Amino acid sequence: MDIPIARWTDRDILIPNELEERQIFHLLKKGSSWTRWNRQLGYYQRWAEITENSVREADNNNLLATHKSDILYEHYVNILKGLATFEEGVNRLRKGDKRVFLYSEDYAFFVRALSPINYWLTFLSKINCGDYRWAEKTPYREEFFKALDDLCHAGETAGFSGEPRDPDTPASLRYHLWHAVFLSRLPYPDPLPELPKRPKKDAIVATGERVPCSGIWEPLDMEEDQLFGVMNYLHGETKAPTFRQTFIDHTEERFGYNEDIINVRWRLIWRDDRYEDGTIPEEEKDYIFVRPVPEGAEDPFGTDGLEYIKKHHLPHPFLAGARRKTDRVEGGEPCPRDGYWWSPANKSQGRIFRKGEIMPIITSREYAESYWLWGGEMEKK
């Protein structure tokens, strides 16, 4: 499938404002920092300690031999292997090696450390679904799963820095409902630093080209220096990804936006050379983490932007002011305004219509109705 290239149009593309850009930049740096990953290592160590306590007590009380405990020595060994792999990744990152974030077999330390975590998350889901009955006498059962839950939640912002498994996967971050609802609720330094000045000589790579260095990059129009979305952390020696460009879509009643996967140019904002000189930046002393969330407190990261909006009776940030009557028009009715219109019944017939022009009626086996949706002030390219 051909991937469209980025072209600047008058369509309502969702792009962070200046404050949100600074907030996202901070989160990208924090999410890829040694401090963040070293902090999560502590939670991994705690989980391993509770596992050791469980198997030792079960062994001392003859629960392992009688199959009355579900946490076994072999599980403890696997968790220790995962812990050692995670710790190796943290130690390498401390020396400035950013390859620990890659999916390559030679460097995927954090990825390989997920194996025992994923095993027990799957095991827990089977218990919750009733597919497996937990051995009631398992020592430290509640503490074991509480430590596992804390370890997983301590992975906040993990998605900001890890390389995807599939190299053809679009860049992980795009601006959407989550940012509009939750971004302002997260903790930041006060004052929040300005974005760094762009390098004097622009480093720019297009989708599919080799990224020369790890760091924070921003997506641009393929022909002009127009920002086309939210910055991302890209990894040196990998292929520059495509980008999920989001745009306001008033016909999408649930989320209020839609997205296209496009080719872009990536411009370097900040090269990640942290720890290469053996030091840790002073700013990392002030990093604030919010997960695991204290009992009874609300998760500032949230889980679902739409549910949060409904729960707190907030206006939808993308659907506010939506012009429903002029965003959809039935075939045979006059066009309500100038612009590009398209029909789900036959997308290839999209074109510019003028106000008052009668919209064609399209016969389609898939669509009982013939209607047209407004796509913007200008024709798509």
Instruction: Output the pLDDT for position 2.
Output: 56
Task: Specify the pLDDT at position 341.
Answer: 84
Provide the pLDDT for residue 287: 95
Q: What is the distance between the terminal CA atoms of the chain, rounded to a whole angstrom? A: 17
List the structure tokens of 324: 């429903």
Backbone angles phi, psi at 13, to 5 degrees: -75, 140
CB 308 within 8 A of CB 346: no
Torsion from C-alpha of 102, 107, 110, 113, nearest 10 degrees: 140
At 115, is the pLDDT very low, low, confident or very high (cuts 50, 70, 90)?
Answer: very high
Cβ 39 vs Cβ 93: under 8 Å: no
pLDDT digits 0-9 by tens, 331-345: 888 988 888 887 777
pLDDT tier, 26 (very low <50, low <70, confident <90, very high otherwise): very high
Whether pLDDT at 42 is above 70 = yes
φ and ψ at 97, to 5 degrees?
-85, 105
Question: CA angle at residue 98 from 195 to 286, to 5 degrees?
Answer: 50
What's the pLDDT at 231? 95
**Lowest-confidence segment of 100-109, 135-144, 186-195, 285-294 by average pLDDT:** 100-109
pLDDT value at residue 298: 84
DSSP strand E in the chain: where? 204-206, 215-220, 232-234, 243-248, 257-262, 265-271, 328-330, 339-343, 346-353, 371-376
pLDDT cut 90: percent of the chain above it? 50
Confidence of residue 11 (pLDDT cuts 50, 70, 90): low
Average pLDDT over the chain reads 86
Q: Whole-angstrom Cα distance, residue 96 to residue 111?
A: 18
| Over residues 175-179, mean pLDDT | 90
The per-residue DSSP string of 247-299 comes to EE-TT-TTTSEEEEEEB-EEEEEEE--TTTTS---GGGGG-----SPPTT---
Of 90-94, 163-167, 290-294, 319-323, the range with the lowest mean pLDDT is 319-323
Q: For the chain, how many residues are written?
A: 381
